[in-house]
Amino acid sequence: MSAGAWLVMPTFNEAENIEAIVAAALAALEVCAPGDHRVLIVDDSSPDGTGEIADRLAAAHDAVEVLHRTQREGLGPAYLAGFRRALDAGATRVLQMDADFSHDPADLARLLAAVDDGADLAIGSRYVDGGGVADWGLLRQIVSRAGCAYARRVLSLSVRDLTGGFKCFRSEVLAAIRLDTIRSHGYSFQIELTQRTLARGYVVSEVPIVFHERRRGSSKMSPWIALEAFVVLPRLRLRRDFR
Ligand SMILES: Nc1nc2c(ncn2[C@@H]2O[C@H](COP(=O)(O)OP(=O)(O)OP(=O)(O)O)[C@@H](O)[C@H]2O)c(=O)[nH]1
Ligand SMILES: [Mg+2]
């Protein structure tokens, strides 16, 4: 089945969220892209059975599809596999969203609208007027803001929310930014996608969103993933300077 708007959702141990998030995503997409959307779950063989639940959802809904990967490789490789599948199938816009309700599926409509209104990449942004984080402690807020500020500084970028993972790409962008050479996994994956998009002169717009802490299941973020960003950023900077 072909569709214009593809939502790629990576999952690892999201058995407690997957059914509800897919239902909410389908309901939201049916409003903003009626009959022209597809939800692609990219599961890395979750030991908690997320993949099996996803298969049942795909059997029940024409607009749901599952990509099973044999190894857990992190967010970046899962997204890359999902993006390739969406591009191969003829997607015109590709959305990305977490499967833990940190991103409100109702905001998918505003991301799609921003792209339909001319943006090449719309970023759900916590750090523009009207955006925010609902339930983080002060320390987590400081760490996230400091990480974004560091990335903006090192890469000389003006986008305010560089580490978030709630986005909508015009497909042409994903086809142009050489996905095959992206090696990052965690926060740096999100940063690298945005940096490459800006480097090619595409229009990036930030759409305010409010981020919520996950209510069910556990976070997959680790200090290692944050550290990866610190190591990768100078490399991204060097590559830009040499280009
Ligand atoms: N396929 C796949 N999905 C992953 C992997 N790691 C995380 N995810 C998914 O990516 C999304 C974001 O992961 P989270 O664990 O919520 O990480 P986070 O949102 O950055 O961190 P929190 O704010 O603590 O929730 C969720 O849907 C996860 O299930 C992975 O290695 N493979
Ligand atoms: Mg999360």
pLDDT in tens, 71-87: 999 999 999 999 999 99
| Cβ proximity of 163 and 191 under 8 Å | yes
Counting ligands in written order, which one lies closest to the CA of residue 66? 1
* Alpha carbon of 217 to ligand 2 centroid (Å): 9
Nearest CA to ligand 1 atom 28: 11
pTM of the shown model: 0.95
* Alpha carbon of 218 to ligand 2 centroid (Å): 8
Determine if ligand 1 sits within 6 Å of the CB of residue 98: yes
Q: How far apart are the first and last CA of the chain?
A: 40
**157-200, pLDDT tens digit by residue?**
999 999 999 999 999 999 999 999 998 888 899 999 999 999 99
* Alpha carbon of 99 to ligand 1 centroid (Å): 8
At 139 the pLDDT is 87
Among 114-123, 149-158, 188-197, 219-228, the minimum mean pLDDT is found in: 219-228
Going from the C-alpha of 138 to that of each of 5, 23, 128, 201, 212, the distances in angstroms are 36, 32, 18, 35, 14
Per DSSP, the three-state class of 41 is strand
Determine if ligand 1 sits within 6 Å of the CB of residue 164: no
Determine if ligand 1 sits within 6 Å of the CB of residue 120: no
pLDDT at 242 over 80: no
pLDDT band at 145 (very low <50, low <70, confident <90, very high): confident
Q: What residues are neighbours of ligand 2 (ion), with CB under 5 Å? A: 98, 100, 102, 214
Nearest CA to ligand 1 atom 13: 220
Q: Which of 96, 110, 236 is nearest to 168 (CA)?
A: 96
Q: Which of 209, 229, 200, 13 is nearest to 121 (CA)?
A: 200
Average pLDDT over residues 236-242: 78
* Alpha carbon of 120 to ligand 1 centroid (Å): 25
State which ligand 1 atom lies nearest to the alpha carbon of 98: 27
State which ligand 1 atom lies nearest to the alpha carbon of 214: 25
**Which of 21, 215, 220, 224 for a ligand 1 pocket mutation test, highest count of atoms within 8 Å of Cβ?**
220
* Alpha carbon of 210 to ligand 1 centroid (Å): 18
At 236 the pLDDT is 84
The helix (run of H) or strand (run of E) holding residue 168 is strand 167-170
Backbone angles phi and psi of 103, in degrees to 5: -100, 135
